[in-house]
Amino acid sequence: MLTKRVSANSLEELAEALKRDEVIAFPTETVYGLGVIYDSVKAREALIRAKQRPENKPFTLMIANRQDIDDFAYVYHAHRCLIEHFMPGPVTFIFKRLESVDPMITNGFDTIGIRLPDDAFVCSLIRKVGKPLLVPSANVSGRPACLNSEEVMRELGGRISYVVEGQCGSGQASTIVDLTQPEPRIIRQGKITLEEIKEVMS
C-alpha cells in the first residue's frame, strides 16, 4: 500500500478516504491518531491490521460536538459538568453505552470511551465525514505513540492510506476517566488529573 502524505488543507480528500473505509493518521492536541469511520466493519478491521492490535481491545470514539455524546452513551447529571468543563480537551471519558449502539463499535463491551479533541482540524474532518471516527494512537500496538508525521511514516508507512503532515500538541496521551462507577477512576493518566476531575464534580 502506498501511504500518501498530505497537508491539513486536503480536508475533502481525507474525508472521502475515510468514507471509503481507509485508515488515515493525523495530529491532535495530544499525540498522533489513526482514524477510521466508526460504523464500518471493513474500516475497523483495516485499523486493527494497521496497528497489529489485539482484537479484544476497544477503540475510542472521537466526536466533533458535545451533544453527540448522547447518541452513544448514558450521561448522568453529575457528568454534565465534566463534559462542559473538560471537552473539548485532552480527556477520554468512559460511559455506559446505549443499548441501541452496535456492540461491534465497542468490541462487545457495554462501555464506550468518547473523546472530543481540542483541535480545529480534527473536528472539521469529523464534521466533513458526517460521522464520528474510531481513533487510537498512531503506532504499532505496544510501541510509543508517534508525535510527528515523520515518526508515523517510519512506523506505519505502507500500512495506512494517508498521513497528515505536522506535529502533535503536548506529546502526552489523553487522560482516560472511567465514569461508569459511583466515583470517577483514572484508567490512564494524562495532563488532566483525578484531583481536577473531583474538584469540578464537587
Q: What is the CATH number of the domain that holds 89?
A: 3.90.870.10
Reduced to 3 states, what is the DSSP secondary structure of residue 189? coil
d(CA 53, CA 57): 8
> What's the total number of domains in the chain?
1
pLDDT of amino acid 57: 85
**Half-sphere exposure of residue 19: CA atoms within 13 angstroms, side-chain side:** 13
pLDDT of amino acid 169: 87
pLDDT of amino acid 166: 95
pLDDT of amino acid 165: 97
Question: 151: exposed, middle or buried (C-beta count within 10 Å: 0-12, 13-18, 19+)?
Answer: buried
- Confidence (pTM): 0.96
Residue 152 to residues 3, 124, 195, Cα–Cα distance (Å): 10, 21, 33
pLDDT of amino acid 36: 98
**Among 147, 127, 122, residue whose Cα is nearest residue 137:** 147
C-alpha cell at 60: 475510542
pLDDT of amino acid 101: 97
d(CA 121, CA 8): 7
Range of the domain at 183: 4-201
Residues (pLDDT < 50) of the chain are none
d(CA 74, CA 110): 11
Residue 91 to residues 6, 27, 32, 68, 190, Cα–Cα distance (Å): 27, 16, 15, 16, 8
